Structure 1
Amino acid sequence: MTALTTPERTAPAMPAGVRGRPARRRREAIDVVTGLTFLAPKLIFFGLFVAVPFIYTFVLVFQRGDVLMGFHWVGLDNIVAVASDTLFRQTLLNTFFFMVVYLPLSLIVPLGVGRLFASTLRGVRIYRALIYMPSLLSIVAVGLIWRLMLDPDSGPINIALRALGIDTFNPFADGTTAMIAIALITVWGGLGFGGIIYMAGLNDIPGELLESARIDGAGAWRIFWHVQLPLLRPLIQFLAIINTIGAVQVFDIIFVLTKGGPGTSTSTAMWYIYTIAFNGGSVGYAAAMSVVLLLITATLSVIYIRLTRTSDR
């Protein structure tokens, strides 16, 4: 009599997707570690030179003193002092005047340059190189160039004016003309960057849209106003935001050209903060003004973003 044998039970085969999960997770973990390894130098640099100083600025707001003599806590005294500082309010007004002159020009003039860059004009590559060249220079170099150009005694512009029988022109002798000149020089320094941005936007517009407008009888001005300009709106918003931030923080061109003079007529908020922090004033008081300027910049940015979103809707 033969014994009955039962077949051996085998474990059910695992789906291929389940078998591959541990290996996939290991690969994902390796990818994360590799990515963090490559990011580590930049994260360390950001933490040491951006995040830590930014946070420490808010600590300095409640302190007085300097690096050599040490700091001591004063509570809200710095904030109260900033609120009653008439010179700080004057520098804010000077900064606002600079913005009023600079911002429209920094958006309109590069737009014309961008149209030139995007054109098929003969020799346009040479024009691009010549106009973009100032953007390769630092703003300090730009300021030094124009200070030499406008020098009342030896500047080539005034030499040419005197040769024509015209009186010497010194825009930095008067506060209003000095601020206007600073705004114009700043626009000149960033002309190539804005022109390249606009050129990229113009070249990205489909040719079919322009051709359809021409077929419908639209001239060059109507095509620009009703077709090209609306499509350039995101770029205009981008340039407006970064130029607004740059205008609020204008400092280096002031340092090179006028050092806040004549008097305090070209002293901007950032220039005043610099003089308080490094010319015998209180670092904590300068930090308090920096925080106020940060809040003003953030408020302007939020208002502008909200207005542009409303317009888009």
Structure 2
Amino acid sequence: MVSVQETRLSPAAPENLPARRRRRPVGRAATYRDAALFLLPKALLFGVFILVPFVYTFVLVFQDGSLLGDFRFVGLANFATILSDSLFLSTLKNTLLFLVILVPLTMTVPLAVGVLLSSKLAGLRFYRSLIYLPSLLSIVATGLIWRVLVDPQSGPLNLFFQRVLDIEVPWLSNGTFAIFFIAVITMWSSLGFNSIIFMAGLNDIPDELVEAARIDGAGMWRTFWSIKLPLLRPVMQFVLILTTIASVQVFDVIFVMTKGGPGTATYTAMWYIYQNVFNGGSVGYAATMSVILLLLTLVISAFYLRATRSDGRGRG
């Protein structure tokens, strides 16, 4: 007679148990395949809507033709035309003026608001939500709102300055003032976004450094200038480059508020490109101007990065 214990320990017993599944080892090829399948939809979208138009822009640079077609190869003729195009040079001047106005506004006002939002204030969540409200509006809606506010006949803001303060403000009738006013509106529309970025950067600064500076006798302003501001350099670089790109590509707010007027006083480079493409001009010529704007943006961004990096090395 075989005991129960012997039956349990006999080699035939495991045959009655269900077979366990063996996991196949996953190789690198299978891992790369799964990752490629996962990224394929996004890669296709990127290629169709970004990469292909980007490459095709450089093809159009050497051609001439309208949206209706009839393209022909012209070589470097578009670049030669740009050098003698006084209107394009004027648009570059207006674009750079807009950049010069917008960048200081964006680097100071949102930074000051970010400092306030990072401090310990009563009702801080309410203030953060209130500051971020303009960023929820599209720039087109923002431009329409401000255009109604400064309307020469019935704009509430314009009437307030005229009847209460007795000041005649050329909101959109003077070219230089219109560019300045549009830069202020652009800064206001992105105030919440940039303020939150600066606030996050300030909150990321270790409290030990601030406390050590205070123990050494540094005041609030000295602590901000010598401790917080240098540590905010990566955040400031990020905001600076984003603002530069937005300045060079400014179009929608111009389209809504001035349409390039008065005359050509607020013609920006992107507005001029739009006029060339959709008003019977040359698509190749517009592509050439786009490439020049791209190179201009890269040069300015590289200058920013080099200037701030050399400043950081000098401090070190």
Q: TM over 0.5: same fold? A: yes
Q: Is the 8 Å Cα contact of residues 63 and 72 (structure 1) preserved in structure 2? A: yes
Cα distance in 2 for partners of 1:165, 1:52 equals: 55
Cα distance in 2 for partners of 1:129, 1:54 equals: 37
Range that drifts further, 163-172 or 36-45: 163-172
Q: CA deviation at 1:136?
A: 1.4
Partner residue, 2:11: none
What is the DSSP-based 3-state SS (H/G/I as helix, E as strand, rest coil) of the residue aligned with 1:71? strand
* Unaligned segments of structure 1, at least 5 residues: 1-22
Cα distance in 1 for partners of 2:138, 2:30 equals: 42
Range that drifts further, 36-45 or 165-174: 165-174
How big is each residue's C-alpha offset from its partner over 1:199-258, in whole Å with a ceiling of 9 and x where there is no partner? 001111111111122222211111111111111111111111111111111111111111
How big is each residue's C-alpha offset from its partner over 1:57-77, in whole Å with a ceiling of 9 and x where there is no partner? 111111111131421112221
Cα distance in 1 for partners of 2:202, 2:304 equals: 24
Q: CA deviation at 1:148?
A: 1.1
Partner residue, 1:131: 131
Partner residue, 1:30: 30
Are 1:221 and 2:221 an aligned pair?
yes
Partner residue, 1:268: 268
| Counterparts in 2 of 1:280 and 1:190: CA distance versus 1, 3 Å | same
Cα distance in 1 for partners of 2:303, 2:177 equals: 30
Partner residue, 1:51: 51
Cα distance in 1 for partners of 2:53, 2:263 equals: 32
Cα distance in 1 for partners of 2:136, 2:148 equals: 19
Are 1:75 and 2:75 an aligned pair?
yes
Partner residue, 2:283: 283
* Unaligned segments of structure 2, at least 5 residues: 1-23
Range that drifts further, 211-220 or 79-88: 211-220
What is the DSSP-based 3-state SS (H/G/I as helix, E as strand, rest coil) of the residue aligned with 2:301? helix
* TM-score, normalised via structure 1 length: 0.89
Q: Is the 8 Å Cα contact of residues 67 and 277 (structure 2) preserved in structure 1? A: no
Partner residue, 1:157: 157
Range that drifts further, 160-169 or 136-145: 160-169
How big is each residue's C-alpha offset from its partner over 1:17-51, in whole Å with a ceiling of 9 and x where there is no partner? xxxxxx65x43222211211121111101111111
Cα distance in 1 for partners of 2:155, 2:40 equals: 50
Cα distance in 2 for partners of 1:305, 1:31 equals: 37
Partner residue, 1:242: 242
How big is each residue's C-alpha offset from its partner over 1:105-146, in whole Å with a ceiling of 9 and x where there is no partner? 111111011011111111121111111111111111111111
Q: Is the 8 Å Cα contact of residues 62 and 76 (structure 1) preserved in structure 2? A: yes
Cα distance in 2 for partners of 1:90, 1:148 equals: 28
Identity over aligned residues, as a percent?
A: 57
Cα distance in 2 for partners of 1:212, 1:88 equals: 54
| CA RMSD between the two structures | 1.6
Range that drifts further, 239-248 or 65-74: 65-74
Q: Is the 8 Å Cα contact of residues 150 and 158 (structure 1) preserved in structure 2? A: yes
Are 1:191 and 2:211 an aligned pair?
no
* TM-score, normalised via structure 2 length: 0.88
Range that drifts further, 163-172 or 246-255: 163-172
Range that drifts further, 85-94 or 301-310: 301-310
Cα distance in 1 for partners of 2:165, 2:62 equals: 58
Q: CA deviation at 1:165?
A: 5.8
